[in-house]
Structure 1
Amino acid sequence: MDTLITVALVHMVVLVIPGPDVLLVSQTAVARSRRAALFAGAGVVTGIAAWAVLALLGIGILFQNFAWIHGVIRVAGGMYLLYMAYNLWRSSLGPTAAQHSPVVTPQGDWRAYRSGLLTNLANPKAAIFFGSVFSSVIPANSSTGLRLGVFAVILGLSVLWFVLVALGMSTAPLQAGYLRAKRSIDRVAGTLMAGFGTLLLASKD
């Protein structure tokens, strides 16, 4: 039980820290629709689940023995985030917010899900985090039941958090505010995405 509580607390802290995942779901909610944001959040959660499974299988050891794999993931992730930043900036240079509505220009369900999944998988820091948490918190000889319990805690908290983000950021007042300041918000979001991508490309770890 102590292990589950420790993992839950650490994962909750990591979830609420603003990063590419939260930024994507929030921006999708205010710019598109609640449905699109929920699908984007589902994509992010799928990525988190994948990293958690890989961590349980020992991805940290893999990175230690084959550092080039981490490097490839880091470069690919950085380039993908820069691509997203480019799209946000290009959108901000289009027609004014008054000419757009998040209801009549929804993001497709599959596209939203794919964006969430790729945004999470593009961040190798997630792999490092899960690898370090699992290796330091979970005993090496832990039972299958404990490992499944840890996975369930991580998955449950992730689902809860991104549902709350999608629902909260898709409210009418926030969408109306987005329409009034679409260009500025898209540019800020694009700049942050570019910053995340640049940090990944510049990182040596």
Structure 2
Amino acid sequence: MTGAQYTALLGLWIAGIVVPGPDIFLILRNAFLSTRRNAVFTVLGVMVGNFTWITLSLMGVTVLISGNPVLKLVVQVAGALFLARMGYGAIRTGVLTRAQRTAAAPDGTVADAAQADAVLADVAAPVSPHGSTVPEPPVAEGTAAQRGTAVQQESTGRGGGPRFLGPTDLTPWRALVQGIVTNLANAKAIVFFVALFGSLVPADIPWWEALTVLGMLVAVGLAWFLSVAWVGSVPALADRFQARTAEVETVSGVVFLLVAAGLLVEVLVTA
């Protein structure tokens, strides 16, 4: 490969990963609502997915998938259904969080979302994921705080779906799995990588150049997504978004549903 080909490949790769999509929204959501450590593991999961796509592209597998209508259909539908499930779970969490706010208010209404989430934090989260400690007040039977806790328990119950899909009780392992599956579920990556590698990477590329391309793209992608995770988990910023948990979850859910709908529309149009 020539220097011009490397430059073009790197430029198109950067343009592709900086555009907001499921990966970035997932990283930001976990950075806002969880911890920096979990956001970093989300990034690692996303990059495991990208590593897989890049490796498959260098091996020519993505071209085979793109050229096989049945296999491509299976990948697109499976990815769309998973992203739709992610979207549904996020929106449902947003709705239940709003119900928490209402239940936590003494008069049943909440005028200020930040104030409401502060009340909920006193009840349900004595220690902030970003390091601040909040004293846990006593809860009398039948109080608004108790009602808020009941709604919170419902939001993490059986009806909310698998816990690994959301930021509740997020662990590094769950964050890693979220990143991997979300990245691999976006079947539009097939089209992106086929176009990217088909036009710039020779089919008979030597193994050492293939490793160079792989290392270059992974390093740049890792640096970008880690920057997003670091900025999103800055305590001053994360605390503000934690006060808007319902809105963050709802927006994330809408993004996932839109991407899923786009994949399904593409399936119907090309069928």
| TM-score > 0.5, shorter chain as reference | yes
| SS of alignment partner, residue 53 of structure 2 | helix
Identical counterparts, % of pairs = 29
Across the aligned residues of Structure 1 and Structure 2, the Cα RMSD in angstroms comes to 1.7
Query: Counterpart in 2 of 1:13?
Result: 15
Deviation of the 1:106 alpha carbon: 4.8
d(CA) in 2 for partners of 1:171, 1:123: 28
Change (3 A) 1:186 1:61: closer
Residue 118 (structure 1) shift: 0.3
- 8 Å CA contact 2:5–2:200 kept in 1: the answer is yes
How many residues in Structure 1 have an aligned counterpart in Structure 2?
A: 205
| More helix, by proportion | 1
Structure 2: unaligned runs, 5 residues or longer: 102-116, 131-167
Q: CA deviation at 1:141?
A: 2.9
Q: TM-score, normalised by structure 2?
A: 0.72
**Distance in 2 between residues matched to 1:22 and 1:90, nearest whole Å:** 20
Equivalent residue number for residue 24 of structure 1:
26
Say if 1:60 and 1:132, in contact at 8 Å, map to a contact too: no
**Aligned AA (1:151):** L
Gaps of 5+ in 1: none
- Report the counterpart of residue 127 of structure 1 in structure 2: 190
Matched, 1:180 2:243: yes
What is the CA deviation profile of residues 28-87 of structure 1, one whole-angstrom value per residue up to 9, with x for unaligned ones?
Answer: 100111111100110000000000000011124312442111111111111111111122
Provide the rounded CA distance (Å) in 2 between the counterparts of 1:108 and 1:121.
20
Q: Matched residues in 2 for 1:184 and 1:201: separation?
A: 26
Counterpart of 2:92 in structure 1 is: 90
From 134, 137, 143, the equivalent of 2:200 is: 137
**Matched residue, 2:161:** none
Is 1:159 aligned to residue 185 of structure 2? no
1:47 and 2:43 are equivalent in the alignment = no
Matched, 1:146 2:172: no
Which has the higher mean CA deviation after the structures are superposed, 44-53 or 183-192? 183-192
Structure 2 CA distance for aligned equivalents of residues 171 and 15 of structure 1: 22
Contact 1:36 1:109 in 2 (8 A): yes
Q: How far apart, in 1, do the equivalents of 2:172 and 2:204 lie?
A: 41
Which amino acid counterpart does residue 19 of structure 1 have in structure 2?
G
What whole-Å deviation, never above 9, does each CA across 1:125-154 have from its counterpart, x for those lacking one? 112211221111012332222221111111
Distance in 2, matches of 1:115 and 1:179, equals 20
| C-alpha separation in 2, matches of 1:60 and 1:115 | 22
In terms of Rg, which structure is larger? 2
